[in-house]
Amino acid sequence: MIHSVKTVRIFATVLLILTAVFFTAQFKAKAAESTESAVEAEEEKNDDATKGKAMAAAIAIGAAALAGAFSMGWAISKSNDSIARQPEAESGIRSTLMLGLVFIETVVIYALIVAILIIFVM
């Protein structure tokens, strides 16, 4: 378990660093092209806002899906270990597992709703 938590932390750190590098490169390119006319600048501003919304939504749903997948895998692994140790408690363990998986999937669906709100409302 400790190894998987470290792996998730490393992956999340790398994802954040790559995102920061991507946005920094975009802002540097934007500063170099600051000599455009007012109409072109307004259109590009709207285009950048759309790109930013898409990137924010992609990061939100990607992080939620990644966390949900790791959580579901870990929960299923632990329930299988528990069933292997106590086969007579299988029905209780399975019902608790299913309830937990539903809650995990609900969080991922909420992240999808937030991503859709980011795209269309903001």
Q: Is the pLDDT of residue 32 over 60?
A: no
Reported pTM: 0.58
| Same domain membership, residue 9 and residue 52 | no
Q: What are the angstrom distances between the C-alpha of 19 and each of 10, 12, 62, 98?
A: 14, 10, 12, 35
d(CA 103, CA 47): 37
| Same domain membership, residue 50 and residue 69 | yes
pLDDT at 51: 82
Q: For 64-87, how does the pLDDT look when each residue is reduced to its tens digit (9 = 90+)? A: 888 999 999 999 999 999 999 999
CATH number at residue 84: 1.20.20.10
Q: Does 92 or 60 have the greater pLDDT score?
A: 92
| Same domain membership, residue 121 and residue 69 | yes
Percent of the chain with pLDDT over 90: 29
Which residues span the domain enclosing 9?
A: 1-32
Q: Is the pLDDT of residue 120 over 80?
A: yes
At a CB cut-off of 8 Å and minimum separation 6, what does 59 contact?
Answer: 15, 19
Q: Is the pLDDT of residue 30 over 70?
A: no
| Same domain membership, residue 75 and residue 46 | yes
Q: Does 67 or 119 have the greater pLDDT score?
A: 67
pLDDT at 5: 61
> Shortest CA distance to 101 belongs to which of 111, 93, 112?
93
| Same domain membership, residue 82 and residue 51 | yes
d(CA 95, CA 101): 10
| Same domain membership, residue 78 and residue 19 | no
Tally the domains of the chain. Answer: 2
pLDDT at 29: 59
